[in-house]
């Protein structure tokens, strides 16, 4: 089978196509014919081993390879079809159309991969394509995880910092569906897209610091690594909630003080990416409440270009790599 492989850390150009052995499912695994995978920031960080949140570096280096990658096929979020099942599998059958997360097993940048049947996998929403389905799990699972913690009430004001990314585009839609008044923060090229999916207000971070806007919010959800938690807290109402998707260690420590000595609350708990959440998202998509925003779909041969696009942030939504010819 063909796979997008990298055998050393570096720029997007280290990605290349190789013919590798097709995997064989264990008793508790399913063999998946991958149709598409999202090209994510985390894929780019693993490929280059340069992380926006610096404390990730050492534990991940020890886990995934000090000098070269142990797992040479990236891709954590995918869509596809079940091609075969292990003899102990009861929840899936050949031909099932699915989408989900491979977690730290990775492997979705290939024509086939195997995953345990208890992985975060669910039936693909019936009203979207495989390419669109691959754009759902990362962003939507993280968005619903954090926004469920925010306990948004109708009429609450939420500011979403980094609203134009994989997580942010779903956060805008989910918060709007929950009845919130949404302020999106990102670059100006994303304003029209963000307003189309539900943003009520927009701030171009290159022109205005949202912390100096003079407005306060019930919830602030930030995907931007390195953002000042002090600035974020300053724009929250007295009982406001701050949600940090990419916290630094200093933010984690400061949250202990904030949560114990003020009426404001900080939460940075990482998403569990559960199957139940994925099923909830499937229903929301089929009911027309949320929809993936896909900018471009690249063929396997252009994986390096897909990574360049993700890293440049010159995109209006998610970047997807197709593992099959349309």
Domain extents for the chain?
A: 2-136+292-322, 139-267
pLDDT at 55: 57
Q: Report pLDDT for 49.
A: 85
> Exposed, middle or buried: residue 326 (CB in 10 Å: 0-12, 13-18, 19+)?
exposed
Residues in the chain with pLDDT values less than 70: 52-63, 326
What CATH class is the domain 139-267?
Answer: alpha beta
* Residues 92 and 123 sit within 8 Å (Cβ to Cβ): no
The CA angle 200-272-257, to the nearest 5 degrees, is 75
pLDDT on residue 57: 59
Q: What is the CA radius of gyration of the chain?
A: 20
Res 61: pLDDT: 63
Q: Is the dihedral of CA 141, 146, 147, 151 positive or negative?
A: positive
pLDDT score for 324:
83
For residue 283, what are the contacts with CB-CB under 8 A and spacing of at least 6? Answer: none
Instruction: Report the alpha-carbon distance of residue 222 to residue 162 in Å, rounded.
Output: 6
Cα 280 versus chain centre, distance: 16
Residue 163's pLDDT is 97
Q: Which CATH class is domain 2-136+292-322?
A: alpha beta
Positions of E strands within the chain? 2-5, 16-19, 29-38, 77-85, 97-101, 112-116, 120-123, 157-161, 181-186, 201-204, 217-222, 236-244, 265-267, 294-299, 318-322
CA 210 vs CA 192, 197, 204, 232: distances in Å: 19, 21, 9, 9
**pLDDT recorded at residue 54:** 56
The CB density around residue 47, as the number of other CB atoms within 10 Å, is 22
Q: In sequence order, what DSSP letters do the residues of 71-106 get, joined into one string? A: S-----EEEEEEEEE-TT--S--TT-EEEEE-GGG-
Write down the pLDDT at residue 76. Answer: 97
pLDDT digit string, tens, across residues 94-138: 999 999 999 989 999 999 999 999 999 999 999 999 999 999 999
Tell me, what's the pLDDT at 60?
66
What pLDDT, in 10s, does the model give residues 82-96? 999 999 999 999 999
Cα distance between residue 162 and residue 168, in whole Å: 6
Residue 318: phi and psi, rounded to 5, are: -90, 150
* Six token digits for residue 225: 């690594």
What gap in Å lies between CA 261 and CA 139, rounded to an integer? 32
- Tokens of residue 246, six digits: 């990419």
Let me know: does 92 contact 82? Beta carbons within 8 Å.
Answer: yes
């Amino acid at each position: 089978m063909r796979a997008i492989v990298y055998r050393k850390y570096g720029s997007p150009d280290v990605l290349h196509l190789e013919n590798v052995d097709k995997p064989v499912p264990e008793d508790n695994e399913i063999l998946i014919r991958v149709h598409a995978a999202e090209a994510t920031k985390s894929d780019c960080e693993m490929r280059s081993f340069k992380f926006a949140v610096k404390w990730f570096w050492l534990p991940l280096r020890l886990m995934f390879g000090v000098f070269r990658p142990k797992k040479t096929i990236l891709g954590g979020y995918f869509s596809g079809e079940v091609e075969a099942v292990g003899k102990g599998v009861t929840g899936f059958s050949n031909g099932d159309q699915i989408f989900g997360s491979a977690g730290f097993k990775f492997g979705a940048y290939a024509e086939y991969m195997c995953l345990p049947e208890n992985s975060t996998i669910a039936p693909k929403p019936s009203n979207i394509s495989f390419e669109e389905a691959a754009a759902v799990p990362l962003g939507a699972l993280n968005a619903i995880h954090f926004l469920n913690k925010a306990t948004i009430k109708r009429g609450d004001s939420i500011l979403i910092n980094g609203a134009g990314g994989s997580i942010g585009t779903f956060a805008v839609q989910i918060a709007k569906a929950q009845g919130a008044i949404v302020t999106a923060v990102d670059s100006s090229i994303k304003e029209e897209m963000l307003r189309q999916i539900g943003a009520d207000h927009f701030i171009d971070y290159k022109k205005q610091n949202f912390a100096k806007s003079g407005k306060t919010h019930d919830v602030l959800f930030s995907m931007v690594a390195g953002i000042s938690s002090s600035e974020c807290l300053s724009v929250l109402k007295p009982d406001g909630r701050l949600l940090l998707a990419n916290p630094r260690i200093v933010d984690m420590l400061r949250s202990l003080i904030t949560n114990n000595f003020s009426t404001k609350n900080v939460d940075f708990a990482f998403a569990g990416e559960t199957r139940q959440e994925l099923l909830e998202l499937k229903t929301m998509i089929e009911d027309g409440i949320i929809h993936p925003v896909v900018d471009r779909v690249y063929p396997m041969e252009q994986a390096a270009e897909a990574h360049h696009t993700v890293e440049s942030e010159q995109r209006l939504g998610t970047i997807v790599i197709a593992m099959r010819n349309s």
